[in-house]
Amino acid sequence: MADSPIIVWFRNDLRLSDNPALDAAVERGGPIIPIYIWSPDEEADWQLGGASKVWLHYSLQSLNEALEASNSRLLIRSGQSLPIIQEMIQETNAQAVYWNRRYEPYSIQRDSIVKSELKKQNIDAKSFNGSLLFEPWEIQTKQEQPYKVFTPFWKTCTSLPEPDEPTSAAHKIQSIKHWPKSQKLETLNLLPKIQWHNGILNSWSIGEAAAKKQLRHFISEAMSEYSVGRDIPGKPLTSRMSPYLHFGEISPRQIWHEVVFALSNNDTGNDSTSAWAFLREVGWREFAYHLMYHFPHTTTDPLREKFSRFPWKSNPRFLQAWQKGETGLPIIDAGMRELWATGWMHNRVRMVVASLLVKNMLVPWQEGARWFWDTLVDADLASNTFGWQWTAGCGADAAPFFRIFNPIAQGEKFDGDGEYVRKWVPEINNLPDKWIHKPWEAPATILNDAGVTLGKNYPYPVVDLKITRQDALEAYQTLKRMK
Ligand code: FAD
């Protein structure tokens, strides 16, 4: 039995190191059949967006190369997961199927069917935790309830024993003699027909090795400045780990232990405050998964039920200006263009653009979440849902609705010299710092000298920030009056 093949079903764990399902397969003994199944129909309303598909293509390519270097390969098939796994069992006489868990409501449902059907066939079907520091069900309040507030959640997490050390058994992968057939990666059609994705490729190196390199670069070059630097969008002072974490090219355990190791070696400029501030952000990701697991309806509906009656407005003109980065509000336009060009946006700017859409424009948060879903390379159902509900004030531990970010003040505070705005909104590059976040208030001569003609080469603001702030507060009052 021990020498019968084992199928390792790769999903959002596209790495060989610290991969518990792969490690368990190596430990069990026998040839390993690594497989990726492309089954978009099983992703419910959340089929991969365009930017994520680009990432996935290169991530699968990179995983296959790493497997080939270990004398193995990645098999690819598309269709329904269960029949494909059963087909593969028949073809190879595999006796075990191992995988790492996913936590989206539809994945949980699918995986539990797969597990119970395989068990009925006497297949050793096992799932593992490969993407979280703490399982969502392990963390609970004293009343045995899920947490809805981050600080006590994280306090409980950090009072537990440290996450296990990362492992690696990839070098011990045993190859199968007769490989079952595989589709070519290209047949999944993950890359767009019209080549719009060069910006993504120029901004990122994709795959497990690149994830590790980027983490080490961040730890040695930027982490000591993280506590303050993480809010400055014009500087590369955050880790950019999010897409690697989403696709599982790196695990949070690997991040945790690399940071703790660097701290113990004094590699971080001695700044343990910044290192812990960084790990705390990884904790927000854990919190987002905790919430999605315990409150699965929140991927489409507000956690605070009252918000389902909020007087949102459908406003295609505002939504389009926001999506295109043509609102006339420089920090917003910079963020939305960074997103379009690179598949990523700085966290501070994500909060500001989301606030403008749901508060000043009163567009439902779900429409913003959809746009992010399609354009982010790190689009992640837990973190995206959490980020949008947080901004809209309808989620757990959320910013109160009446706290409305002012894009001018945010720009002046976190991008004082306009470095970020100048990069992404070159039309206004020559404006002095004083006006870079509010060109419509600049005197005509200044605009003229900077080559800016409002309404021609850069728009007037699509919304009046003062009036729309007032409208938002009034809309919120209607909610407060509801029983
Ligand atoms: P760092 O600052 O270096 O943080 C390290 C890691 O911690 C990140 O990679 C991420 O995994 C985690 N993290 C940091 N902040 C948060 C947070 N607020 N919530 C959850 N996890 C966090 N993040 C996603 O990964 N996918 C999304 O789809 C997503 N959508 C968002 C939507 C909105 C409206 C907002 C406000 C935030 C969203 N975030 C999302 C969270 C956050 O913006 C990104 O994780 C972060 O910008 C990624 O950059 P980084 O890796 O350099 O972060």
234-284 tens-digit pLDDT: 999 999 999 999 999 999 999 999 999 999 887 656 579 999 999 999 999
pLDDT tens per residue, range 409-419: 999 999 999 99
Q: What size, in residues, is the chain? A: 483
Q: Is 450 in the pocket of ligand 1 (CB under 6 A)?
A: no
237/229 Cα distance (integer angstroms): 5
Q: Is 383 in the pocket of ligand 1 (CB under 6 A)?
A: yes
Q: Is the pLDDT of residue 169 over 80?
A: no
Contacts (Cβ under 8 Å, ≥6 apart) of 187: 76, 78
Token pair belonging to 16? 């060989």
Average confidence score pLDDT of the chain: 95
What is the reported pLDDT for 171? 76
Catalytic site residue 284? Answer: yes
Residue 70 DSSP SS3: coil
Residue 124 DSSP SS3: strand
Mean pLDDT of 423-432: 98
Taking the CA of residue 252 as reference, the ligand 1 atom at the shortest distance is 11
94/86 Cα distance (integer angstroms): 9
pLDDT tens per residue, range 108-142: 999 999 999 999 999 999 999 999 999 999 999 99
Q: Is 239 in the pocket of ligand 1 (CB under 6 A)?
A: yes
Beta-bridged to residue 100, according to DSSP, are: 128
**Longest CA span, the chain:** 83
Catalytic site residue 388? Answer: yes
pLDDT tens per residue, range 366-403: 999 999 999 999 999 999 999 999 999 998 887 788 88
Predicted confidence band of residue 2 (pLDDT cuts 50, 70, 90): low
pLDDT tens per residue, range 315-373: 999 999 999 999 999 999 999 999 999 999 999 999 999 999 999 999 999 999 999 99
Q: Nearest CA to 100 among 46, 167, 50, 159?
A: 167
Q: Where are the alpha helices (DSSP H) in 9-99?
A: 20-28, 50-69, 81-92
Atom 49 of ligand 1, residue of closest alpha carbon: 240
Q: Is 397 in the pocket of ligand 1 (CB under 6 A)?
A: no
35/26 Cα distance (integer angstroms): 15
Predicted confidence band of residue 3 (pLDDT cuts 50, 70, 90): confident
More confident residue, 478 or 170: 478
Q: Is the pLDDT of residue 157 over 70?
A: yes
What is the reported pLDDT for 270? 55
170 phi/psi in degrees, rounded to 5: -60, -35
CA 331 / ligand 1 centre spacing (Å)? 18
Catalytic site residue 424? Answer: no
Percent of the chain clearing pLDDT 70 (strictly above): 99
311/362 Cα distance (integer angstroms): 8
Mean pLDDT of 60-73: 96
Residue 72 half-sphere exposure toward CB, CA atoms < 13 A = 26
Mean pLDDT of 180-200: 96
Mean pLDDT of 78-93: 97
CA 314 / ligand 1 centre spacing (Å)? 27
Q: What is the pTM of this model?
A: 0.97
Atom 22 of ligand 1, residue of closest alpha carbon: 285
Catalytic site residue 365? Answer: yes
Q: Is 55 in the pocket of ligand 1 (CB under 6 A)?
A: no
